[in-house]
Structure 1
């Protein structure tokens, strides 16, 4: 590992776990890699511009496979691509073609590839989630366009190393060549400080579900470390639509993109490059579903900063790492990729196979959403302390919590839910690292941060001061949090029944906020003009109505006729009726 990778691994506590992980690299390109490259319809690569900044580019030809071919020379391959005017890879290849003609070579006198000639890539088959990374050096540019109206390039590269990657966070799509083979791109770009991206581009970023990340490692000072050659990197980072968050940084006068880091192989290759060289490039493909249209890409080169643990969590709750990227220069290449996403029905949205590993979208802490009582990094920590539990059955129970904060109670309205950090109550199956899920349905466990939202069934002042609230939960088999809560709740209820002190080993659960808007109508009522309320409920979905019922029961000025239709398991009908009666009483 180079010093940047080691620093990034140490910042997350991974250095011991990944020692020796570099053995996963293959020198050159094995036969299977050459076959893989030949079967790609596009390849994301990293190259540098003349200012040394990294850009990620989407390479392709006409939308078919076969634009990458192996040559007679071992580990060499040729690429026949189309690159319109204004695209990052075009300017790079034109510059290298000129330098080759002037007699320059891609290697220095020690045989080390020059960083300006290097090209790193990641190949992905979107239909089956196969992914492999590649480091290479461009050794020849055979064909370049005669003028700006042409876009054909043919160049040759030598593979330095390859590395296999897992399929996590890749959302599947079935790409087909567009019927529109002639590409007439519309290119927008800007590098002005203080000028934001157009709304159209910001909206596309806000809805993106994949990003190709370019990184650069310039080498290290040989007086401090063993001399390390410069390298480039390119990787894929995906998630649910909206996983990329942005904000306008008034201090830097730049748009900042936040890329969260999900659970991965912990090698920290891209993050290690950015730790040493705080720059990055991104490519965000915008796939069309119209056969007669061509797809687009947003390209940008950025200054960047890697965040780890507390720094990341202060910015975005629920992540252990992130990268902040301030856009220095960008290009919106509209209609430059002659491919579209095949859909089963034209009336439907593009067919996307969402990765089961995708975590929920994490908001920035500065994005308050609709939370009525949010707690941010500057707020004091408010702890929810379990004080009792009533078990209706082995799988359904009412838990009582005490909160020493009257400000929360003043903000609460019946019908809201409380957001709690339950990481300390999580099963060790979730807190211990695993690279891939061990069973179907376990994919979400890898990025479970322990945050839970539960509807408050009942709330009142606590006898000992502060605030007290109840939640009704069902124990989930292989659940991340409820097994611990049920186990601890059992200890507490048994201790109280026997007149003993509750056990001291209760999980630390911090309140993150209140949210929700399922409120009772606020109009005045009389016995002759009551509220008429109808609730349609199913199973444990009974919880939102409970706080309404308890609120109405406590308020003598409220009059209501209530009809509740509840669908439930036959063996739980009596339990649900008991819970409803408990709320009214």
Structure 2
């Protein structure tokens, strides 16, 4: 070990550790203790570990039976994302003598490597003494099903540790590996078939060493330890592993061309088994890609797959403001959608991505597949659901269309939006790209007793380009005659973003009433302004008071769209104003 590695390990208060059981399967755990005590560097190639393990810890049991020969470890400083991994041979092990749960190890190191900080969650942790309770111990079973609590533990994880092995006839080159896998909570997915439970780990852009994946490719085993740093609960998993590539991977998890699938053959769940306490909110890595869902999950959500069966041609660009434009796409085949639904485009044929290990300026581009999901800002055409007169409202519905419009804001560091906003209008028709479909459940329209219907009273709340679904709502209301509703629109904008709201005006039908309030936090001139009694612009941010002052707010169905932080605040403001949870709707993408 380099001296900086041995010093690093010795200063840790937690350390991930892995070994194998008598079946050769890898198990992993997290040992804890005071800095300078839990891990000690006795020499440049010897580490000592002294700790106590909770009852049922599978790694402790591996050492207790004296079957463990190889080991691997990983040290992570969660305060600064520094990490180093190490592996070698077990020279001495004493575990759980007298049932005390103590673990004493002398470990010879023959591999040591520093790793990058990508995908590591920053967290502030303190050692505490918890009261562990063994919930489940299925050390070797071919029929393991996860409980709801275990699924929830997996879903909350932004950090897991992956243990792998490589055994050969030449024991001098056999070894183990233990690596960090991180992402946004939910990046690890699970599913069942008729007999087994599987863990799915999507592969994110890494250092191209492929040590863990290489071990799995040759030996077909892997283990995971999944901690909950809030509750102290911990889940240990081992099983049969395989790497799936290209079409086979995408058939399970769309947009992923390499993943690891682990069939669970061993599981240990220990409540409060981790003697660490989280002291402050976690800070997720800026490199984390969006959550990728399984095909089975997308099917249940009525979301399209990633297999293109249509194409879209960019046929028009309408500049609305300095940074916002409406792009019109003409599809090869017609589609159906409701106002407020989204469309999915694949720009990968037009944007080339080169490998970059790190990218400090735009970390999201490291894993970018250039597939984009945007709200459709145009409304579909009206059609008749029967052969009777189209003037009968009871027979009207939304029909097929080959024209979609998306109103998109230019993000300077966004690869796709920068590409689109840099296009000259006369070249737009040369852009043809795969179209993956439409989807969504965010719409104020529904069919009730054969009629298109909307709530009698609504409040639409948007921030920035989150105004787009309401453009579609409004356009559809202009097309569908006979619908009666009262709308209050609250729009939080910055600078010339407010121009987008200029399209909203009374429809003149006497049935649709609309009241527009624009909050421009970056207006540079003029004061508050109004247009009659239906529109008002104010030079400030939207607040909870503005929600509370909406007339009849508790009688309205609220629809909101905008950045995550904005929607979180608005949801709290609506609840504080007395709006029931079932009447609060927000736009969410899952693809």
Same fold at TM > 0.5: yes
Match of residue 67, structure 1, among 32, 35, 38? 38
Correspondence 1:195-214 to 2 at 5 A = 195-214=144-163
Secondary structure of 1:59 counterpart: strand
- Give the direction of change, closer, same or farther, for the CA distance of 1:563–1:75 in structure 2 (3 Å limit): closer
1:303 matched residue in structure 2: 240
Residues 124, 130 of structure 1: 8 Å contact kept: yes
**Alignment-derived partner of residue 532 in structure 2:** none
Three-state SS of the structure 2 residue aligned to 1:202 is helix
Larger strand share, 1 or 2: 2
Q: How does 1:534-553 map to 2 (within 5 A)?
A: 534-553=459-478
Unaligned 5+ runs, structure 1? 1-28, 100-115, 290-294, 344-350, 494-501
Which residue number in structure 1 is paired with residue 577 of structure 2? none
The partner residue of 2:10 within 30, 33, 38 is: 38
Query: How do 1:434-513 and structure 2 match up within 5 A?
Result: 434-439=356-361, 442-460=362-380, 467-488=402-423, 490-492=425-427, 502-503=429-430, 506-513=431-438
State the TM-score, normalizing by the size of structure 2. 0.75
1:525/1:559 contact within 8 Å kept: no
Over the residues paired in the alignment, what is the CA RMSD in angstroms?
3.2
Q: Structure 2 vs 1, CA of residues 146 and 536 (structure 1 numbering), >3 Å: closer, same or farther?
A: closer
Q: Distance in 2 between matches of 1:563 and 1:337?
A: 50
Equivalents in 2 of 1:192, 1:263: separation in Å? 33
| Residue of structure 1 aligned with 2:225, choices 278, 283, 292 | 283
Which residue number corresponds to residue 160 of structure 1? 110
Q: Partner residue of 2:355?
A: 433
Mapping of 1:323-402 within 5 angstroms? 323-343=260-280, 351-368=281-298, 371-372=301-302, 374-375=304-305, 377=307, 381-402=309-330
TM-fit CA distance, 1:311: 2.7
Q: Is the 8 A contact 1:388 1:489 kept in 2?
A: no
Matches of 1:230 and 1:67 in 2, distance apart?
Answer: 26
Distance 1:201 1:375, change over 3 A: closer
What's the offset of the Cα at 1:77? 2.3
Contact kept? 1:419, 1:453, Cα under 8 Å: yes
Is the partner of 2:468 in helix, strand or coil?
Answer: helix
Q: Encode CA deviations 1:391-439: one digit per residue, 9 max, x unaligned.
A: 2344322211122333x22xx111212222333344x4xx222111232
Is the contact between residue 43 and residue 122 of structure 1 (CA under 8 Å) also seen in structure 2?
yes
Q: Secondary structure at the match of 1:550?
A: helix
8 Å CA contact 1:365, 1:376 repeated in 2: no
Residue 247 (structure 1) aligned with residue 191 (structure 2) = yes
Count the aligned residue pairs: 489
Once residues 25 and 458 of structure 2 are traced to their aligned partners in structure 1, the CA distance between those partners, rounded to angstroms, is: 62
SS of match in other structure, 2:298:
coil
d(CA) in 1 for partners of 2:51 and 2:414? Answer: 49
What is the CA-CA distance between 1:341 and the residue it aligns to? Answer: 1.8
- Correspondence for 2:23: 51
Q: TM-score, normalised by structure 1?
A: 0.76
Residue in 1 aligned with 2:214?
272
Contact 1:384 1:511 in 2 (8 A): no
Secondary structure (helix, strand or coil) at the match of 1:516 reads: coil
Q: Which of 90, 102, 117 is 2:60 aligned to?
A: 90
Judged with a 3 Å threshold, the aligned counterparts in structure 2 of structure 1 residues 234 and 534 are, in CA distance, closer, same or farther, namely closer
1:420–1:452 contact (8 Å) kept in structure 2? yes
**Equivalent of 1:423 in 348, 354, 369:** 348
Any idea what SS the aligned residue of 2:422 has?
helix
Change (3 A) 1:199 1:533: closer
- Report whether the alignment pairs 1:128 with 2:73: no
Looking at structure 2, the residues matched to 129 and 488 of structure 1 have their Cα atoms a distance apart, in angstroms, of: 39
Q: SS where residue 92 of structure 1 aligns?
A: helix
Q: Deviation at 1:187?
A: 4.9
Contact 2:158/2:185, CA 8 A, preserved across alignment: yes
Cα deviation per residue 1:144-194 (whole Å; 9 max; x = unaligned)?
44322x1223221111020000111111222212155xx554252123333
- Within 5 A, what are the aligned runs for 1:213-252? 213-219=162-168, 229-250=173-194
Q: Distance in 2 between matches of 1:276 and 1:524?
A: 60
Name the structure, 1 or 2, with higher relative contact order (CA <8 Å, separation 6+).
1
Shift of 1:560: 4.9
Contact 1:525-1:558 at 8 Å conserved across structures: no
Displacement of 1:316 in angstroms is: 1.4
Equivalent residue for 1:322?
A: 259
User: How far does residue 327 in structure 1 lie from its aligned partner after superposition?
Assistant: 0.4
Question: Deviation digits for residues 196-254 of structure 1, max 9, x if unmatched?
Answer: 1333222211222211111011137x9xxxx982111100101111111100022xx11
Q: CA deviation at 1:537?
A: 3.9
SS in structure 2 opposite 1:481? helix
Q: Indicate whether 1:186 and 2:116 are aligned.
A: no
Whole-angstrom distance in 1 between the partners of 2:491 and 2:75? 51
Supply the distance in 1 between the matched residues of 2:146 and 2:485 (Cα, whole angstroms): 53
Gaps of 5+ in 2: 383-399, 509-591
CA distance in 1, matches of 2:14, 2:457: 60
Report if aligned partners of 1:185, 1:336 keep a CA contact under 8 Å in 2. Answer: yes
